[in-house]
């Protein structure tokens, strides 16, 4: 009887371990991995529902997890933030036939600056030239294991990850950038060259997940 009880307990524990919630935060996507949830639709600031597959172009896709409220994105005081570089990156992507999307996953701040209306206002103010989508319940961020705003993920034409991390090493001043990681990765991707480094440590505010 004791053995049967022990077996039942063990099976119960295994069953609980096997259950994985759909919105659980995964490990950060490894280079070489396929883009998850690539067919899932998210609402863009223009009202259209877009998926990563919709946005991808012939040479690949750039995904940047972003927001309206983080100083690393929008800047503060005499520090620029990375947002001012977004349109330049967008132009580079368009010239290289690489799709680009900003993703707002700050589910816990929908009433504090990161809802769809806030996103529309920010995009208009900054003249965004790329898609900017709302990631409901942080589903895409969780699937990517994205941790910060901004957090960069660059995929090739087959939606396999080739670079992840930060835009460059100088959030404060674009003019003083010495290591344009993303710019180099974009160029090497279209040239068919090895991307080095393939990973850098992302820097920014934590993504504000609900719960």
Distance separating alpha carbons of residues 130 and 137, to the nearest angstrom: 22
pLDDT at 211 (0 to 100): 80
- Taken in order of first residue, the domains within the chain and their CATH numbers are 43-206 (3.40.30.10)
**Residues of the chain above pLDDT 90, percent:** 87
The pTM assigned to this predicted structure is 0.89
C-beta of residue 144 within 8 angstroms of C-beta of residue 29: yes
Model confidence pLDDT, tens digit, residues 13-54: 333 333 334 468 899 999 999 999 999 999 999 999 999 999
Average pLDDT of the chain, as a whole number: 91
Question: Would the pLDDT of 12 be above 70?
Answer: no
Instruction: Say if CB 53 and CB 155 are below 8 A apart.
Output: no
Closest listed residue to residue 31, CA positions, set 160, 188, 195 = 160
Across the range 109-128, mean pLDDT stands at 98
The set of long-range contacts for 31-34, using a CB threshold of 8 Å and a minimum separation of 24, is 31/161, 31/162, 31/163, 31/164, 31/198, 31/199, 32/160, 32/161, 33/160, 33/161, 34/158, 34/159, 34/160, 34/161
């Amino acid at each position: 009887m004791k053995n049967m009880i022990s077996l039942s307990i063990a099976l119960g524990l295994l069953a609980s371990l096997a259950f994985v919630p759909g919105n659980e935060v995964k490990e950060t996507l490894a280079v070489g991995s396929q883009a998850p949830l690539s067919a899932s639709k998210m609402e863009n600031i223009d009202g259209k529902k877009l998926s990563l597959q919709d946005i991808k172009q012939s040479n690949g896709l750039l995904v940047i997890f972003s927001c309206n409220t983080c100083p690393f994105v929008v800047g503060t005081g005499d520090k620029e933030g990375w947002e001012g570089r977004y349109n330049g990156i967008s132009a580079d992507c368009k010239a290289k036939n690489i799709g680009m999307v900003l993703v707002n996953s700050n589910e816990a701040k929908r009433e504090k600056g990161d809802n769809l209306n806030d996103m529309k206002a920010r995009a208009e103010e900054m003249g965004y030239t790329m898609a900017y989508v709302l990631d409901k319940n942080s589903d895409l961020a969780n699937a990517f294991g994205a941790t910060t705003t901004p957090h960069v993920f660059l995929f090739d034409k087959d939606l396999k990850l080739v670079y992840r991390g930060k835009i460059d090493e100088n959030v404060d001043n674009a003019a003083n950038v010495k290591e344009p990681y993303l710019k180099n990765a974009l160029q090497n991707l279209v040239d068919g060259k090895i991307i080095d480094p393939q990973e850098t440590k992302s820097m920014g505010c934590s993504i504000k997940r609900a719960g």
